[in-house]
């Protein structure tokens, strides 16, 4: 049987542990780097200190030897001179924890601390079991003839142990007759010193790491907790629940992100409410005329409606079809404008004539409501380059909106003026007006103001949104102001030349 290839889901790692691990790794690398730098610094410091100490003492003994040569003590009383030098070598070796000895000009050791005992007596017949037969390497002796010399060298140690080697020449009558060497093993001297220092460093580092773990854990939790909350909220938004909000704390980038997510939630909530309202309104707006159309046609077909009444009912059917067509066309136009597919067909247009022509569509409604229309008597002729059909739709929608909310016997005032390179249009109506809390939302798609302000409010809340989109497509702006209970004014301007 063929085997199925199972896709392995990668193990999920939370942001908290990622941040925690990365921060801890950085701290550990930093501590290790500090330790390495500190070790290098410590080694260099110890080397310089050791060289300085060894060189100072070696030079002191070399000066003593030169003085003995000058006073010819080495020739007249070599035994006493040897005791003096061996004693100096013994005391200095003990004080600086190093092996200090004297060689001849070839590098062969001739005097050391092991030639005498504590009572200043020559032992082993003047022979040293440690140094006898040992000779300093020629490379070091050659360098020494050029003056004082120091280096790190393994000498002839079979195990390759490293030593700090300091040499000072003994000069007599312009010649190098010997040398004083001070040799200190690096590991035996530096090791204990370094161990103690690193014990302190290790203890301090351990305490620091423990504290760092605690602090990083706390700060990582506090840093990622808001992100987890945001993740939870966005999942709710994805499921369509826009009721939750993030509690804002602090004033940093995460707070800004949370604030933006809250704003997005509010916007999505408004959009969802508008969508539901739109679906309900469109369903109603489509269902009502479709039901009427279906009922009237069925009535004509089955003979319920008499032939004498058919024309009247067919006229109603025609009106309902036109209303449906207008609704569909409005939605299509909005979709094209937002998709950037609607192009302006610019032509010279007289706005004053367009305002008058559009108003004639509402002549019957104006007469029935006994509404007074003002403004045309003082209106001047203003020409613009615009899409006449679209501009007509703007004016038509504003008239339609004004008539819906004008009180019986009220007034509609139409204004038109020209300022520099712009044409300004205003349509005002008396009535209950618009509440201030609703002013900023009247141009939103699907939004409908409080229906209680008018007994004959119709529509799905697309008219003013279409006005806004068409005006902005012309490069203009639309606005609204209202004095509740008195007057409401919708205004827009467009450039005279596109």
Show the domains of the chain with their CATH numbers: 15-191 (3.30.450.20), 243-342 (1.10.287.130), 343-495 (3.30.565.10)
Distance CA 230, CA 472 (A): 35
**Cα separations in angstroms, 207 against 24, 30, 162, 203, 452:** 14, 15, 34, 6, 72
Q: What is the DSSP letter of 116?
A: B
Helix residue ranges per DSSP H, 340-442 = 351-359, 363-368, 388-405, 436-439
Q: Is the pTM of this model over 0.85?
A: no
pLDDT of residue 456: 45
Among the listed residues 491, 448, 117, the one whose alpha carbon sits nearest the alpha carbon of residue 281: 448
Helix (H) or strand (E) holding 256: helix 253-301
Q: What is the CA radius of gyration of the chain?
A: 52
Helix (H) or strand (E) holding 430: strand 422-430
Please state the φ and ψ torsions of residue 300, each to the nearest 5 degrees: -70, -40
Distance CA 172, CA 65 (A): 9
Q: Which residues contact 85 (CB under 8 A, 6 or more apart)?
A: 61, 64, 65, 68, 102, 111
Please state the φ and ψ torsions of residue 140, each to the nearest 5 degrees: -80, -40
Helix, strand or coil for residue 104? strand
**Cα separations in angstroms, 263 against 223, 278, 465:** 21, 22, 22
How many other CB atoms sit within 10 Å of the CB of residue 281? 19
Tens of pLDDT, residue by residue, the chain (498 residues): 455 555 555 566 677 777 778 888 888 888 888 888 888 888 788 788 888 888 888 888 888 888 888 776 666 556 777 778 888 888 888 888 888 888 888 888 888 877 776 666 666 655 676 777 678 888 888 887 777 778 888 776 655 678 888 998 988 888 888 889 988 888 777 777 777 877 888 888 888 888 888 888 888 787 778 888 888 888 888 888 888 888 887 787 878 888 888 888 888 887 777 777 667 767 766 777 788 788 888 888 888 888 888 888 888 888 778 777 877 777 777 777 777 777 888 899 999 999 999 999 889 889 999 999 999 998 999 999 999 989 999 999 999 889 988 999 999 999 999 988 999 999 999 988 888 888 888 887 766 665 444 434 555 577 888 899 999 999 999 999 998 889 999 999 999 986
What are the beta bridge partners of residue 135? 108
Please state the φ and ψ torsions of residue 286, each to the nearest 5 degrees: -85, -40
Distance CA 170, CA 179 (A): 5
299 within 8 A of 305, measured Cβ to Cβ: yes
Integer distance in angstroms from the first to the last C-alpha of the chain?
A: 73
Pairing of strands 163-172, 149-153: antiparallel
């Amino acid at each position: 049987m063929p085997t199925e290839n199972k896709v392995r889901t990668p193990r999920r790692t939370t942001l908290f542990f990622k941040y925690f691990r990365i921060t801890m790794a950085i701290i550990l690398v930093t501590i290790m780097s500090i330790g390495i730098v500190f070790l290098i610094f410590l080694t260099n410091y110890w080397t310089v200190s050791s060289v300085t100490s060894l060189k100072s003492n070696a030079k002191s003994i070399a000066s003593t030897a030169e003085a003995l040569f000058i006073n010819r003590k080495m020739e007249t009383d070599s035994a006493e001179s040897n005791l003096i030098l061996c004693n100096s070598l013994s005391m200095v070796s003990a004080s600086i924890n190093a092996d200090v000895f004297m060689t001849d000009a070839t590098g062969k050791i001739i005097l050391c601390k092991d030639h005498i005992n504590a009572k200043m007596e020559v032992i082993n017949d003047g022979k040293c079991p440690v140094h006898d037969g040992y000779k300093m390497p020629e490379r070091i002796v050659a360098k020494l003839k050029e003056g004082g010399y120091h280096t790190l060298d393994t000498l002839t140690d079979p195990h390759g142990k490293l030593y700090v080697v300091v040499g000072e020449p003994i000069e007599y009558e312009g010649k190098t007759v010997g040398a004083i060497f001070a040799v200190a093993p690096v590991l035996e001297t530096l090791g204990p010193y370094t161990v103690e220092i690193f014990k302190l460093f290790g203890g301090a580092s351990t305490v620091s790491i423990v504290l760092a773990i605690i602090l990083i854990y706390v700060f990582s939790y506090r840093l990622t907790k808001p992100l987890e909350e945001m993740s939870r909220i966005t999942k709710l938004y994805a499921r369509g629940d826009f009721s939750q909000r993030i509690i804002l704390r602090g004033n940093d980038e995460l707070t800004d992100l949370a604030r933006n997510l809250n704003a997005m939630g509010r916007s999505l909530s408004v959009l969802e409410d508008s969508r539901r309202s739109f679906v309900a309104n469109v369903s109603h707006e489509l269902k009502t005329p479709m039901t009427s159309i279906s009922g009237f046609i069925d009535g004509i077909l089955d003979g319920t409606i008499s032939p004498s009444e058919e024309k009247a009912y067919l006229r109603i059917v025609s009106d309902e079809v036109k209303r449906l067509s207008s609704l569909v066309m409005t939605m299509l136009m909005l979709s094209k404008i937002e998709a950037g597919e609607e192009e302006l067909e610019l032509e010279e247009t007289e706005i004053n004539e367009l305002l008058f022509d559009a108003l004639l569509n509402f002549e019957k409604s104006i007469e029935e409501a006994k509404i007074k229309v003002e403004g045309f008597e003082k209106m001047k002729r203003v020409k613009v380059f615009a899409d006449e059909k679209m501009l007509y739709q703007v004016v038509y929608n504003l008239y339609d909106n004004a008539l819906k909310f004008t009180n019986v016997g009220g007034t509609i005032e139409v204004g038109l003026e020209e300022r520099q390179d712009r044409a300004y249009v205003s349509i005002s109506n008396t009535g209950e007006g618009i509440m201030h809390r609703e002013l900023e939302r009247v141009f939103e798609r699907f939004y409908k103001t409080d229906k209680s302000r008018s007994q004959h409010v119709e529509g799905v809340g697309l008219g003013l949104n279409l006005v806004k989109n068409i005006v902005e497509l012309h490069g203009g702006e639309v606005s609204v102001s209202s004095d509740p209970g008195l007057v409401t004014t919708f205004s827009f301007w467009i450039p005279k030349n596109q």
